[in-house]
Amino acid sequence: MNKVLIVDDVPVSIKVLGELLKEHYEILVATSGSRAIEVALKNQPDLILMDVVMPGMDGLETCRRLKENTLTAEIPVIFLTAMSESSDVIKGFEVGGQDYVVKPFNKIEVIARVKNHMELRKSKEKIKQYALELERKNEELQQLLQKVEQIAITDFLTGITNRRFAIDRMNEELSRINRGEDGFSLLMIDIDNFKDINDSHGHECGDYILKDVVNLIKSVLRNYDMMARWGGEEFLVMLPSTEINDAKIVAEKIISNVRTQIFTYKGNSFHVTITAGVAQHQAGDDLDSIIKRADEAMYHGKKSGKNCVKNSCH
Whether residue 223 has pLDDT greater than 90: yes
Q: What does pLDDT average to over the chain?
A: 93
**Residue-wise pLDDT tens digits, 81-126:** 876 666 777 888 999 999 988 888 888 999 999 999 999 989 988 9
- Asked whether the beta carbons of 81 and 100 are under 8 A apart, the reply is yes
Q: Where are the domains of the chain?
A: 3-127, 163-311
The listed CATH number (1.10.3130.10, 3.30.70.270, 1.10.1060.10, 3.40.605.10) that belongs to domain 163-311:
3.30.70.270
Sign of the alpha-carbon dihedral angle for 260, 261, 266, 267: positive
**Which of 85, 233, 243, 252 is the catalytic position?**
233
pTM for this prediction? 0.63
Mark out the alpha helices in 55-155 (DSSP H runs): 59-68, 86-94, 107-152
CA distances from 291 to 24, 226, 281, 288, 298 (A): 79, 14, 9, 5, 11
φ and ψ at residue 30, rounded to 5 degrees: -150, 140
Q: Is the pLDDT of residue 133 over 80?
A: yes
User: Is the separation of the CB atoms in 233 and 306 below 8 Å?
Assistant: no
Q: 300 falls in which pLDDT band (50, 70, 90)?
A: very high
- 62 band by pLDDT with thresholds 50, 70 and 90: very high
Residues 6+ apart with CB under 8 A from 201: 265, 266, 268, 270
Radius of gyration of the chain (CA): 39
Question: At 312, phi and psi to the nearest 5?
Answer: -65, 140
User: b vs e for 82-117, b when ≥16 Cβ sit within 10 Å of the residue's Cβ?
Assistant: ebeeeeebebbeebbbbbbbeeebeeeebeebbeeb
pLDDT of residue 106: 87
- What pLDDT is attached to residue 18? 93
Q: Is domain 3-127 annotated with CATH 3.40.50.2300?
A: yes
Whole-Å CA distances, 132 to 123, 126, 127, 154 = 14, 10, 9, 33
Is residue 233 annotated as a catalytic residue, yes or no? yes
